Amino acid sequence: MEKITKETYLKWYEDMLFWRKFEDKLAAVYIQQKVRGFLHLYNGQEAVLAGALHAMDLTKDRMITAYRNHVQPIGMGVDPRKVMAELYGKVTGTSKGMGGSMHIFSKEHRFHGGHGIVGGQIPLGAGMAFGDKYHGSDAVTLCYMGDGAVRQGSLHETFNLAMLWQLPVVFVCENNGYAMGTSVARTSFSTDIWKLGLGYEMPCGPVDGMNPVTVAQEMSKAIERARSGGGPTFLEMKTYRYRGHSMSDAQHYRTKEEVEEYKKIDPITQVLDIIKEKKYATDEEIKKIDKRVKDLVKECEEFAEKSDYPPVQQLYDMVYEQEDFPFVQHKL
């Protein structure tokens, strides 16, 4: 794994803080009805992404996840202004405003989306890994899912084939404890989700998902195993979300005291504490980072606000064009 340095910690701090503030802004404009539909926020889980990005080769590795998918493409290199615009439903968005909150995609940056069907991305992730292996690429696919999605039968079918064919894929369960609103303890006899890999003799284990260092270390091992032909890995990232499943979640299943307790091990705070302890940055330098983050969030918001909505014609451009069905005219 690439060494974790002063620069790594400073990048982690700035990236994770931006992701947090970016989504805080989304929550604010959602209340103003500028962002419609569902909105699933990542607040508290940022270390899972930060650590993974440190271990990945962004020139070839892929990522696929569920609908909590706004900051991952930004981490993979997608322009955050376009992500914000997509959530606004604007034509300048990553999918010209046609995907919205739950379906951010970027073929260029190998981010293959948020998927609305629970667990639907699991076989797709294995399929992409199969494609890379078939074509002789040494790319690795990171396939994310929530703790609720592991109850889907498609996970077991996929695990079986991934091991049988030794696919270059890392399966990651982001266990934030509550799925859509029901605790793991109420849905599973065993609360150690990582043990699901044992039934397929898949390398697996639990990871502290609130610390980017532990995430980077374990993800690096899994990625290198996959890249070298060693097959898949299943990691359970034990993390926590500070907001509800979506903006419409009243969160009656947990107490405010529990949320505050988890905020004591906030990944952003953990990284900032290391920066201060090791004197990686002065208070003035940290303030400059904070200002850059604030300014970039504002820039994203202004870009989305000023962008146009898609023209009606785009509805027709986004369906399949058939030569023997000339009644729908396409312009793209």
The 3-state secondary structure of the chain, one letter per residue: CCCCCHHHHHHHHHHHHHHHHHHHHHHHHHHCCCCCCCCCCCCCCHHHHHHHHHHCCCCCCEEECCCCCCHHHHHHCCCHHHHHHHHHCCCCCCCCCCCCCCCCCECCCCECCCCCCCCCHHHHHHHHHHHHHHCCCCCCEEEEEECCHHHCHHHHHHHHHHHHCCCCEEEEEEECCCCCCCCHHHCCCCCCHHHHHHHHCCCEEEEECCCHHHHHHHHHHHHHHHHCCCCCEEEEEECCCCCCCCCCCCCCCCCHHHHHHHHCCCHHHHHHHHHHHCCCCCHHHHHHHHHHHHHHHHHHHHHHHHCCCCCCHHHHHCCCCCCCCCCCCCCC
pLDDT of 185-220, one tens digit each? Answer: 998 889 999 999 999 999 999 999 999 999 999 999
- Does 86 score more than 90 pLDDT? yes
* pLDDT at site 332: 67
Tokens 């374990």, located at residue: 218
| Cα–chain center distance at 295 | 23
The amino acid present at 162, given as its one-letter code, is: A
Tell me the domain boundaries of the chain.
6-305
Query: Which residue is associated with the tokens 């107490």?
Result: 255
Residue 316: the pLDDT is 85
- Region 105-132: mean pLDDT is 96
pLDDT for res 319: 78
pTM given for the model: 0.94
Q: Distance (Å, rounded) from C-alpha 224 to C-alpha 244?
A: 34
Residue 315 has pLDDT above 90, yes or no: no
CA 201 – CA 273 distance, rounded (Å): 39
- What does the pLDDT look like over 11-64, one tens digit per residue? 999 999 999 999 999 999 999 999 999 999 999 999 999 999 999 999 999 999
Q: What are phi and psi of 280, to 5 degrees?
A: -75, -20
CATH of 6-305, one of 3.40.50.970, 3.30.9.10, 3.30.565.10, 3.40.50.720: 3.40.50.970
In the chain, the percentage of residues whose pLDDT exceeds 70 is 100
